[in-house]
Amino acid sequence: MITLSAEAFDPYRLLREFTEGVDGVGAVASFTGLVRGEGDVGVSALILEHHSTLTRGAIEEAVQKARRQWDLLDLRIVHRIGRVEVGEPIVLVATAAKHRRDAFESCDMLMDFLKTDVPFWKKEFSQQGERWVEPGAKDHHDRSRWS
Amino acid sequence: MAEIIFYGKFQDIIGPSLELGLPEGVTSLKELVSYLGKLYAGFSEMVLNARTKIVLNDVIVQTDMPISDADRIEFLPPFSGG
């Protein structure tokens, strides 16, 4: 299931519900991304923009790719849109499989795709003003592992 | 009038959208980018970034596509989720 949420969510509750809802599961991998305070910079919040149709479509494409590549029983993606405060979760990716490698690797791939291949735009607000954040070379290198 | 929509950092240069009667000589996306680049400093350079996407009537396209006043054109800067 894919959710774009304008409201804060509780990743721990969602992960428990997800895990309990998958029959025959042997492995669940998850990633939760949070808004970092960034120390000296004093980040206070992010605004996440998205595209009304292409964002969900791009996530669905990534999900199909993951399902083709790994033996998954189910998966759950929640991504915030709108204003997100420091410390709040931005994203949850959870993957369920019979075996750990399928769960680990699909979760890793889905996060890399969410970083670079899905229409989200992130504006950071801090004591130094505001700026649009773009993926770095490391993000693109990580993404390139999945071709 | 063509409807032109901007996302992310493009909004800081131009704003969220424009309704534009395409000027004479602007018949492709490439020509539109050049036209807007003359009006808004820095726009063309940002669009030339390989990771910028242009959407024409809901389909991601290359800049050599022809355009008309009936089109909906969207400029998407590099994505940054997660």
Q: pLDDT value at position B48?
A: 85
Output the six-digit token pair for B29: 């996306």
Average pLDDT over residues B24-46: 94
Per-domain residue ranges of chain A = 2-142
Residue B33 CB partners (closer than 8 Å, separation 6+):
B43, B44, B47, B63
The yes-or-no verdict on residue B49 having pLDDT over 90 is no
- The CA distance from B10 to A114, in Å, is 21
Q: pLDDT value at position A100?
A: 97
Q: pLDDT value at position A91?
A: 98
Q: Do B81 and A115 touch (CB under 8 A)?
A: yes
Give the gap in angstroms from C-alpha A26 to the nearest C-alpha of chain B. Answer: 26
Q: What is the ipTM of this complex?
A: 0.90
Q: pLDDT value at position A4?
A: 98
Give residue ranges of B with CB < 8 Å to any A CB.
Answer: 7-9, 12, 53, 55, 58, 60, 74, 76-82
Residues of B in contact with A114 (CB under 8 A): 81-82
Q: pLDDT value at position B40?
A: 95
With cut-offs at 50, 70 and 90, classify the pLDDT of residue B37: very high
- Give me the domains of chain B, ranges plus CATH numbers: 2-76 (3.10.20.30)
Give the gap in angstroms from C-alpha B59 to the nearest C-alpha of chain A. Answer: 9
As a whole number, the mean pLDDT across chain B is 94
Output the six-digit token pair for A45: 């919040």
- Helix (H, G, I), strand (E, B), or coil: what is residue B13? helix
Q: pLDDT value at position B41?
A: 92
CATH fold, domain A2-142, is Aldehyde Oxidoreductase; domain 3 (3.90.1170)
* Per-residue model confidence as pLDDT tens for chain A (147 residues): 999 999 999 999 999 999 999 999 999 999 999 998 867 778 889 999 999 999 999 999 999 999 999 999 999 999 999 999 999 999 999 999 999 999 999 999 999 999 999 999 999 999 889 999 988 899 999 999 998
Question: B58, B27 in Cβ contact below 8 A?
Answer: no
Q: pLDDT value at position A54?
A: 96
